[in-house]
Amino acid sequence: MATVAEIFETLEWGPAPEAANPGLDWIKEHQPFGLFIDGGWRKPTSGKYFSSENPSTGKPLAKVAMGNSEDVDAAVAAAKRAFEGWSKTPGHVRARYLYAIARQVQKHSRLLAVLESMDNGKTIRETRDIDIPLVARHFYYHAGWAQLMESELPGMEPLGVVGQIIPWNFPMLMMAWKIAPAIAMGNTVVLKPARYTPLTALAFAEICEEIGLPPGVVNIVTGEAGAVGDRMLEHPDIAKIAFTGSTDVGRHIRKVTAGSGKRISLELGGKSPFIVFDDSDLDSVVEGVVDAIWFNQGQVCCAGSRLLVQEDIADRLIDKLRARMERLRIGDPLDKAVDIGAIVGPVQLAEIKRLVEVGQSEGATLWQPSWACPTEGSFYPPTLFTDVSPASTIAQMEIFGPVLVSMTFRTPAEAVALGNNTRYGLAASVWSENINLALDVASKLKAGTVWINSTNLFDADSGFDGVTDVLAFGLPYLS
């Protein structure tokens, strides 16, 4: 053990682990996990289970039910029955349930943060300070809208049973984004969590039980995309599909539901520009870049993954950035002093490695810190590409990992042209000490959200979507 005096000398970090026990004990008590249908737990019709892994160890974490199309049918039937009562329940009464959910999320926040870290690989720093507090905030906020629905949204009606399909990158937060507005507006839901990260949705089902949410209002069906997802897409009693995930699956959903009368909302990928003018505060910019692309290991749909720097400060900024990258800490996601956790799994890790190789083969220059990643589990170091051409694969394709590509520009017009040189339009970030310049450029960028001198800031009351439609206040769940 180092003495305090020695620690003052070296300024080395010691381990600061959050205890895994609350999560592990909770899993032990519950597994194998069933499906949450009609207010209770049932075994999957298939009789089969799959294991969700801990990406930082590569080891199985929990046994979870392998739902199939029959289970989806049962969940939809329960949601349809529940809709009769729930849609006619006065808004202020529905609000009471949402407030109760929010309070339970806060009460169990430590358990939820630990579970999310273990199941997904993201750091406890983020699950504790961002994911779980925002989950609670979404239920509080939409409880407000349930109360206001009659006076502020007169004549509007809930749609019915909503099928919700979510990704693995912010498992519980994406669940909250989907469930809170839908049930606030009087809909009932069948939700399918992503296969890699089902645990916090199951903990949420338990919260629904605890607060006495009427049976069938929320149903959680875990399982394979094919068996569960595809049945949801074709089910005649599902009025709407709300999806967040990859562009390819989004296209598939659009095709399969075409002509069926189902509504859809699709939140897909991004390759968002992070634009830095030469009058920016460069130290703030460096911290901004860290939050833009190394937040959640870069597995963020609105990650600032394209760094566009004004030419005259590019070398200075890249030097500062490399110095900062050298000091980032990667490792055990449950360690409170770790900056970067694990990639969600071996498949995603292999895809990141593949795209990095493509980047090198297309002539870009790769830079990574000198330190090595843990060898157990799925880790990938923060990575910076320079000498990137705007048309290259890594400048155009979403990598969904801790990989930043940088390019330079000379004039504001060129920054806008480069920024908009993408098939996506999710988010953008603009940095300048000149607010006129920043606002002018922001208005010319094709993105649903533009942050100025900041990045990756979220709140329940600020709509989040692509450039085509920014919707909030539960409107996607009303007709």
Minimum CB–partner distance for residue 47 and ligand NAD (Å): 21
Minimum CB–partner distance for residue 205 and Mn ion (Å): 17
Is the separation of the CB atoms in 134 and 458 below 8 Å? yes
Structure tokens at 297: 């290991």
Radius of gyration of the chain (CA): 23
Q: Is 199 left (phi over 0), alpha (psi -120 to 50) or beta?
A: alpha
The residue among 23 and 245 lying less far from ligand NAD, judged by its C-beta, is 245
Catalytic residue among 18, 53, 126, 301: 301
The residue among 18 and 267 lying less far from ligand NAD, judged by its C-beta, is 267
Q: Other CB atoms closer than 10 Å to residue 291's CB: what's the count?
A: 17
Catalytic residue among 18, 53, 267, 398: 267
**Given the DSSP bridges, would you call strands 49-54 and 59-65 parallel, antiparallel or unpaired?**
antiparallel
Alpha carbon separation from 240 to 78, 98, 264 (Å, rounded): 16, 21, 5
Is the separation of the CB atoms in 219 and 79 below 8 Å? yes
Contact partner, 267, from Mn ion, ligand NAD, none, Cβ < 5-8 Å per class: ligand NAD
- Among residues 33, 49, 52, 91, which is the contact residue for Mn ion, using CB under 5 A? 52
Contact partner, 195, from ligand NAD, Mn ion, none, Cβ < 5-8 Å per class: ligand NAD
E strand or H helix that includes residue 406? strand 403-409
Q: What residues numbered 418-457 form the site for ligand NAD, per CB under 6 A? A: 426
* Helix 132-152 × helix 91-107 angle, to 10°: 170
Minimum CB–partner distance for residue 168 and ligand NAD (Å): 5
Is the separation of the CB atoms in 337 and 329 below 8 Å? yes
The residue among 202 and 239 lying less far from Mn ion, judged by its C-beta, is 202
Tell me, yes or no, if 301 is annotated catalytic: yes
267 interacts with ligand NAD by CB under 6 A: yes
Q: What residues numbered 120-149 form the site for Mn ion, per CB under 5 A? A: none
Interacting stretch for ligand NAD, rule CB under 6 A, among 60-68, 125-133, 263-271, 361-369? Answer: 263-271
Structure tokens at 153: 């949204």
How many residues contact ligand NAD, by CB under 6 A? 25
User: Which residue from 213, 223, 203 is spatially nearest to 31, judged by alpha carbons?
Assistant: 203
User: Which residue from 236, 240, 237 is spatially nearest to 253, judged by alpha carbons?
Assistant: 240
The residue among 165 and 325 lying less far from ligand NAD, judged by its C-beta, is 165
Positions of E strands within 55-197: 59-65, 161-165, 188-192
Q: Other CB atoms closer than 10 Å to residue 14's CB: what's the count?
A: 9
168 interacts with ligand NAD by CB under 6 A: yes
Alpha carbon separation from 425 to 42, 398, 450, 474 (Å, rounded): 41, 12, 10, 22
Tell me, yes or no, if 18 is annotated catalytic: no
225 interacts with ligand NAD by CB under 6 A: yes
The residue among 267 and 335 lying less far from ligand NAD, judged by its C-beta, is 267
Minimum CB–partner distance for residue 123 and ligand NAD (Å): 18
User: Which residue from 407, 402, 412 is spatially nearest to 441, judged by alpha carbons?
Assistant: 412
- Among residues 158, 167, 412, 419, which is the contact residue for ligand NAD, using CB under 6 A? 167
190 interacts with ligand NAD by CB under 6 A: no
Contact partner, 282, from Mn ion, ligand NAD, none, Cβ < 5-8 Å per class: none
The residue among 251 and 410 lying less far from ligand NAD, judged by its C-beta, is 251
Long-range contacts of 368-373 (CB under 8 A, 24+ apart): 368/325, 369/322, 369/325, 369/326, 369/328, 370/326, 371/326, 371/330, 373/330
Contact partner, 445, from ligand NAD, Mn ion, none, Cβ < 5-8 Å per class: none
Q: Could you identify the residue written with the tokens 């779980």?
A: 132
Contact partner, 119, from Mn ion, ligand NAD, none, Cβ < 5-8 Å per class: Mn ion
249 interacts with ligand NAD by CB under 6 A: yes
Q: What residues numbered 192-231 form the site for Mn ion, per CB under 5 A? A: 196
Contact partner, 169, from ligand NAD, Mn ion, none, Cβ < 5-8 Å per class: ligand NAD
Interface residue list for Mn ion (CB under 5 A): 52-53, 119, 196
Interface residue list for ligand NAD (CB under 6 A): 165-169, 192, 194-195, 225, 229-230, 233, 244-246, 249, 252, 267-270, 301, 398, 400, 426
Active site residues: 267, 301
